[in-house]
Amino acid sequence: MGVGQLSDAEAANRLMRLAREIAKHDAAYHDRDAPEISDAEYDALVAENKAIEAAFPHLVRDDSPSKKVGHTPSSPLGKVTHAVQMLSLDNGFSDDEVREFVERVRRFLSLSDDEPVRLTAEPKIDGLSCSLRYEDGELVLAATRGDGSVGEDVTANARTIADIPQTLKGAPPVLEVRGEVYMAKDDFAALNARQEEAGGKIFANPRNAAAGSFRQKDASVTAARPLRFFAHGWGEISAEPKPTQEAMVRWLEELGFPVADHFKRCETVEEALDVYATIGSERGALPYDIDGVVYKVDRLDWQHRLGKVARAPRWALAHKFPAEQAETILEAIDIQVGRTGKLTPVGRLAPVGVGGVIVSNVTLHNRDEIERLGVRPGDRVKIQRAGDVIPQVVENLTRDEKRDPFVFPDHCPECGSEAVAEEGEVDVRCTGGLICPAQRFERLKHFVSRSAMDIDGLGEKSVAEFLELGWLEKPSDIFTLHEYRDDLLAKEGWQEKSVDNLLAAIDARRGFDPGRFLFGLGIRHVGAVTARDLMKAFTNVGPLMEVAQAEDAIAQLSAVDGVGEVVAQAVVDFFHEEHNREEVALLLERARPADYVSDVQETAWSGKTIVFTGKLETVSRDEAKAQAERMGAKAAGSVSKKTDLLVAGPGAGSKLKKAEELGVQVMTEEEWLAEVEKS
Ligand SMILES: NC(=O)c1ccc[n+]([C@@H]2O[C@H](COP(=O)([O-])OP(=O)(O)OC[C@H]3O[C@@H](n4cnc5c(N)ncnc54)[C@H](O)[C@@H]3O)[C@@H](O)[C@H]2O)c1
Ligand SMILES: [Zn+2]
């Protein structure tokens, strides 16, 4: 169910459950270093919480995960209250979210558009955060983040890490350096190998290994683990000696702290996004795990003005790398019926973050795909979403042979009409045509669309509204809408002028072009051009309907220029359905499309062959061809001895050369348009 459909009570209930569930996972991850679900699944819960809170701001709970950092520690380590809170970071997954972040900064600081917002960009190494307190240059306290306000005392543990200086030269009286304790990939692999040999705990990933090794009561265990540290910020400080993030980080480096490789100050957001792309492409080759890039507003005076909101600073953003695969439960398989009646199986998932978005639906494509995967509701599946590709199920992880396979329906779930697959096709379609409610809205929308009947003022919204009111069920109802004029005037949002404009626009389509009328019916395989070809041959939709029911219909239809067997069969199938014939008859009676008239004129170019090449600047290639056809000429694709004229725009190449060799007349686009003008 979408967030928008929730009632207040349902939303409150869901928020309560999410708060509880997320807190449970926070404890497992942050306190016990033993997550029970993947980060993608966790991120999906957080995103769901965020979406519901955005839609129901009055229901935000005091204990909401959106207000909390990490988890209150319950380890046997001593507690430390942070002098300056240790925060989390806001997340973004797309380039646009990063641009929006910068726009928010701009708005908050009331900056003009041309004022540069410089950002620093650096990798987000996956470890755990640590605050190191130096007084008069001596390391006196090290603490984990905990819940942001209270962390654990890990001073003895920090002293065992070689990257962490015990004393500093030239540091201010109070300096809290903040950074990340992490484990390199090689060290992690070696540690796990040793652990396995010794029958010890195997860690799921370097992050868990780092956290589990660092948060030890016995510092000698930490000492035996290969932990590293890099500095990315500071907490309490007597005075900030530098005016920018970059200068501060360089200063920390001079004091003896490792800082991130790839740290870069960027003049623009686009430059920062380039750093993201570069770091992303080198991600696999880096010696440590990273899960994103962190951007920070470079100017410290701006950082101070921006401050924080809830659990994160306003001046920083973590641009996460998408996990491209994730595991989740396939909760149900729904069958959707499309405009042309195609039955598409859609998998409903327990929501999960993958490829940078939260995914709760996957297409299962068709009957064959379901068979290939052998998926049934309740199965655990691996899904994938890379780039802009629609999420797919790549693997069924449930190998339970006892349950029955999913049975694909042989009737339309919407209208009960038979659902069949065309020969040699995998897609199953509803044969209910114009009466199927699933296809109703799409059919109406298509009928009134720009390239079909082009009825001004009857947009998607009005179609939906009239459908809802029961005034519109099938295309023929459009032409009786005037009966509802008074009811419509009584509706909110409908002025007399717009109502009358709409009714006039509908009236203007009586006696309209039969090709566009036919195209509007939405017969499978009958596009705008084919519809026109059919009308050229049969003058109007009435006669076409007759032909389509004739014994030799396929032969007659396929004899039309531009119509093949597939189209012919689709036309026959469509008119084979009685309810379709009834509706078309009614529609013809009410809309009375005009007979097809050829708009081809007798001109100096009649019977001639014309080729267009190069870039045309004022008309499209299709329009130019249509102009030629209206002038009685034939538009061809290649230059030969039979070519009478080549219209060459800029960039014309081999065709122009060939035309010159053959002595074919050549014109510019401008000269051609003068010819069109003349006729
Ligand atoms: N699987 C689970 O059950 C589970 C549970 C809880 C949290 N998590 C995961 O933990 C993360 C959320 O934890 P979080 O609130 O600590 O947020 P976070 O880890 O996404 O971001 C905040 C942290 O990033 C660190 N960081 C790394 N490089 C940095 C840099 N260059 N500059 C500044 N900070 C840097 C800091 O320590 C900071 O505290 C999510 O990725 C989530 O998936 C998973
Ligand atoms: Zn149907």
254: its two tokens: 């001079």
ipTM of the complex: 0.95
**Nearest residue (CA) to ligand 1, atom 15:** 88
CA 503-504-510 angle, 5° bins: 95
Q: Which atom of ligand 1 is nearest to the CA of 36?
A: 3
pLDDT at 116: 94
pLDDT at 386: 55
CA 33-35-41 angle, 5° bins: 145
Instruction: Please choose from 26, 33, 38, 39 the residue to mutate so as to test ligand 1's pocket, defined by most ligand atoms within 8 A of CB.
Output: 39
- Each residue of 474-498: pLDDT tens digit? 999 999 999 999 999 998 888 999 9
pLDDT at 254: 97
Sign of CA dihedral 97, 98, 102, 108: positive
Q: Which residues lie below 8 Å from residue 168, measured CB to CB, with a gap of 6+? A: 134, 137, 138, 175, 255, 256
Strand, coil or helix: what is 408? coil
Average pLDDT, the chain: 90
Kindly state if the Cβ of 129 falls inside 6 Å of ligand 1: yes
Please report which ligand is nearest the Cα atom of 411.
2
**Residues 35, 28: contact at Cβ < 8 Å?**
yes
Q: 266 a known binding residue?
A: no
Kindly state if the Cβ of 37 falls inside 6 Å of ligand 1: yes
Q: 39 a known binding residue?
A: yes
Does the pLDDT of residue 73 top 90, yes or no? no
Q: 296 a known binding residue?
A: yes
Q: Which atom of ligand 1 is nearest to the CA of 29?
A: 5
Cα 434 to middle of ligand 2, angstroms: 9
Please report which ligand is nearest the Cα atom of 71.
1
**How buried is residue 111: exposed, middle or buried, by Cβ count under 10 Å (0-12/13-18/19+)?**
middle
In 325-388, DSSP assigns E strands to: 325-337, 342-354, 357-363, 380-384
Determine the Cα–Cα distance for residues 315 and 313; give it in Å rounded to an integer. 5
611: its two tokens: 């080729």
Q: Does domain 91-320 have CATH number 3.30.470.30?
A: yes
Determine the Cα–Cα distance for residues 597 and 579; give it in Å rounded to an integer. 29
CA distances from 521 to 54, 161, 524, 588 (A): 41, 74, 9, 11
The domain covering 323-429 belongs, at the CATH homologous superfamily level, to: Nucleic acid-binding proteins (2.40.50.140)
pTM: 0.57
DSSP class of residue 94 equals S
DSSP class of residue 402 equals T
Sign of CA dihedral 119, 122, 128, 130: negative
**Residues 342, 427: contact at Cβ < 8 Å?**
yes
Cα 96 to middle of ligand 1, angstroms: 21
Residue 176 or 40, more confident: 176
Instruction: Please choose from 46, 88, 149, 279 the residue to mutate so as to test ligand 1's pocket, defined by most ligand atoms within 8 A of CB.
Output: 88
Instruction: Please choose from 18, 29, 317 the residue to mutate so as to test ligand 1's pocket, defined by most ligand atoms within 8 A of CB.
Output: 29
Kindly state if the Cβ of 231 falls inside 6 Å of ligand 1: no
pLDDT at 25: 93
Query: Which bin fits 242, alpha (ψ -120 to 50), beta or left (φ > 0)?
Result: beta
Does the pLDDT of residue 387 top 70, yes or no? no
Q: Which residue, 559, 509, 552, is CA-closest to 534?
A: 559
Determine the Cα–Cα distance for residues 607 and 622; give it in Å rounded to an integer. 19
* 432-597 CATH: 1.10.150.20
> Which one of 68, 124, 445, 625 is the catalytic residue?
124
> How far apart are the two ends of the chain, measured CA to CA in Å?
60
pLDDT at 419: 87
Determine the Cα–Cα distance for residues 541 and 514; give it in Å rounded to an integer. 7
Q: What's the pLDDT band for 356 if we cut at 50, 70, 90?
A: low
Q: What is the mean pLDDT of residues 310-315?
A: 94
Cα 474 to middle of ligand 2, angstroms: 14
Strand, coil or helix: what is 326? strand
Tokens 């074919």 sit on residue: 664
* DSSP letters spanning 507-550: HTTTT--HHHHHHHTT-TT--HHHHHHHHHHHSSHHHHHHHHHS
Q: What is the mean pLDDT of residues 268-275?
A: 96
- Each residue of 550-602: pLDDT tens digit? 999 999 999 998 798 989 998 998 898 888 899 999 999 999 999 998 777 88
Kindly state if the Cβ of 88 falls inside 6 Å of ligand 1: yes
Please report which ligand is nearest the Cα atom of 28.
1
Q: What is the mean pLDDT of residues 256-275?
A: 96
In sequence order, the β-bridge partners of residue 383 are: 326, 393
Q: 180 a known binding residue?
A: yes
Kindly state if the Cβ of 39 falls inside 6 Å of ligand 1: yes
In sequence order, which ranges of 72-144 are alpha helices (DSSP H)? 95-108
Kindly state if the Cβ of 26 falls inside 6 Å of ligand 1: yes
Lowest-pLDDT range, 182-196, 222-236, 425-439, 489-503? 425-439
Q: How many CB atoms lie within 10 A of CB 247?
A: 15
Q: What's the pLDDT band for 266 if we cut at 50, 70, 90?
A: very high
DSSP class of residue 478 equals G
Q: 655 a known binding residue?
A: no
Q: What is the mean pLDDT of residues 188-193?
A: 91
**Nearest residue (CA) to ligand 1, atom 44:** 39
Cα 340 to middle of ligand 2, angstroms: 10
Q: Where are the domains of the chain?
A: 3-68, 91-320, 323-429, 432-597, 609-678
Query: Which bin fits 663, alpha (ψ -120 to 50), beta or left (φ > 0)?
Result: left
Cα 75 to middle of ligand 2, angstroms: 60
**Residues 353, 319: contact at Cβ < 8 Å?**
no
Cα 40 to middle of ligand 1, angstroms: 12
Q: What's the pLDDT band for 533 if we cut at 50, 70, 90?
A: confident
pLDDT at 457: 86
In 112-190, DSSP assigns E strands to: 119-125, 128-135, 138-144, 150-152, 174-182
* DSSP letters spanning 545-577: HHHHHSTTHHHHHHTSTT--HHHHHHHHHHHHS
Strands 264-266 and 290-297: unpaired
Lowest-pLDDT range, 164-173, 532-541, 628-637? 628-637
**How buried is residue 54: exposed, middle or buried, by Cβ count under 10 Å (0-12/13-18/19+)?**
exposed
> Which helix (DSSP H) or strand (DSSP E) does residue 375 occupy?
none
**Residues 462, 518: contact at Cβ < 8 Å?**
no
Report the percent of the chain where pLDDT is more than 90. 64
3-state helix, strand, coil in the chain (%, to 5): 40, 20, 40
Kindly state if the Cβ of 29 falls inside 6 Å of ligand 1: yes
Strand, coil or helix: what is 178? strand
Q: 414 a known binding residue?
A: no
Does the pLDDT of residue 390 top 80, yes or no? no
Determine the Cα–Cα distance for residues 277 and 97; give it in Å rounded to an integer. 15
Cα 526 to middle of ligand 2, angstroms: 19
Q: What's the pLDDT band for 403 if we cut at 50, 70, 90?
A: confident
pLDDT at 389: 60
Kindly state if the Cβ of 147 falls inside 6 Å of ligand 1: no
Under CATH, which architecture does the 609-678 domain have?
A: 3-Layer(aba) Sandwich (3.40)
pLDDT at 199: 84
Determine the Cα–Cα distance for residues 410 and 413; give it in Å rounded to an integer. 9
Q: Which atom of ligand 1 is nearest to the CA of 43?
A: 43
Backbone angles phi, psi at 608, to 5 degrees: -90, 160
Q: Which residues lie below 8 Å from residue 506, measured CB to CB, with a gap of 6+? A: 455, 458, 478, 479, 481, 482
Q: Which residue, 168, 167, 163, 192, is CA-closest to 180?
A: 163
Does the pLDDT of residue 157 top 90, yes or no? yes
Q: How many CB atoms lie within 10 A of CB 272?
A: 27
Cα 265 to middle of ligand 1, angstroms: 22
Backbone angles phi, psi at 523, to 5 degrees: -70, 135
Backbone angles phi, psi at 145, to 5 degrees: -75, -35
Instruction: Please choose from 22, 122, 124 the residue to mutate so as to test ligand 1's pocket, defined by most ligand atoms within 8 A of CB.
Output: 124
Determine the Cα–Cα distance for residues 668 and 656; give it in Å rounded to an integer. 11
Does the pLDDT of residue 414 top 70, yes or no? yes
Q: 633 a known binding residue?
A: no
Would residue 124 show up in a list of annotated catalytic residues for this protein? Answer: yes
Kindly state if the Cβ of 320 falls inside 6 Å of ligand 1: no
* 3-68 CATH: 1.10.287.610
DSSP class of residue 205 equals S
176: its two tokens: 């809290």
Q: What's the pLDDT band for 200 if we cut at 50, 70, 90?
A: confident
Kindly state if the Cβ of 35 falls inside 6 Å of ligand 1: yes
Does the pLDDT of residue 181 top 70, yes or no? yes
Q: 430 a known binding residue?
A: no
Cα 47 to middle of ligand 1, angstroms: 15
**Nearest residue (CA) to ligand 1, atom 6:** 26
Residue 32 or 220, more confident: 220
pLDDT at 36: 79
Q: Calculate the CA 488 to chain-centre distance.
A: 37
> Which helix (DSSP H) or strand (DSSP E) does residue 506 occupy?
helix 496-507
